Amino acid sequence: MTADCVIELSGVWTQIGASIIHRDIDLCVRSGEVFAVIGESGGGKTMLLRLMLGLEPARGTVRVFDRPLQGYPADDFKRMRRRWGVLFQQGALFSALSVYDNVALPLRELRQLPEEMIRELVMTKLALVEIDAASADKLPSQLSGGMVKRVALARALALDPELLFLDEPTAGLDPERSDGFVNLVQRLRRELNLTVVMVSHDVDTLIALADRVAVLADQRLITVGPLWEVVEFPHPFVHSFFLRHRTRSAQQSVDELRRVLGQSRQAA
């Protein structure tokens, strides 16, 4: 066990019915980094996040904040759950609840805070993600896609987590909104000193945010490293991923992508 790992998986296997989703996964998410996961659709990325959240059973060991998730007493687990925030891939917000009530939900679940304090915290979080106070009473259906993601982020940040999980945070956003969201995460990460685990298939998002990228293929983690190393990894999935998912900033070619990554490598 490396003391620096906020999350550590060792020898993790998962299975749904007869099909094996993950085989013998080892990984360490370091404190303060943005750790990205890429892989085929249906390849088990969301499931990997759910494992880290204690929502899926697994063989092997999953340690979060230096303690194994398995066999946690319920009260301790509840306390630990407050140390992370999650932006789920699907169903980011409850559609019947207003923006305000969505962000207030995790605070109300604590059952300890007076409503005035909840109001102050909710409005602070909305301001943090640049949602104006006038939108607090709106329903999710009255928001743009970019705003829904930002409100969902405000809710994930409601309890001041140390660890943030983002599952496809920019999927479905147009390029401008996607860039806006990426800038927001960059700023919050600096200001709040977060460790982030992010699933994304968007190369621009990966270039902007990821310190390291882990590749899930053939049920295994085939490589983990900075993007400029991963892009060179000899595996058919990696090759097709960077061919398929061309980047806006990288002018539509893998060679150009290498050039952009070469620059960020020199800057690092």
Ligand X SMILES: Nc1ncnc2c1ncn2[C@@H]1O[C@H](COP(=O)(O)OP(=O)(O)OP(=O)(O)O)[C@@H](O)[C@H]1O
Number of residues that bind ligand X (CB under 6 A): 11
Query: What is the β-pairing status of strands 84-87 and 163-167?
Result: parallel
CB closer to ligand X out of 42 and 114: 42
Angle (CA) 41 57 17, round 5° = 60
CB closer to ligand X out of 35 and 228: 35
**Interacting span for ligand X (CB under 6 A) from 45-53, 95-103, 129-137, 158-166:** 45-53
**Interacting span for ligand X (CB under 6 A) from 35-43, 129-137, 156-164, 253-261:** 35-43
Binding of residue 146 to ligand X (CB under 6 A):
no
Amino acid 244 reads R
**Interacting span for ligand X (CB under 6 A) from 38-46, 113-121, 137-145, 240-248:** 38-46
Binding of residue 90 to ligand X (CB under 6 A):
no
Residue 209 beta carbon to ligand X: minimum distance, rounded to whole angstroms? 18
Binding of residue 169 to ligand X (CB under 6 A):
no
With CB under 5 to 8 Å by kind, the binding choice for 161 among ligand X, Mg ion, none is none
Q: Can you give the binding site for ligand X, defined by CB under 6 A?
A: 16, 21, 39, 41-47, 89
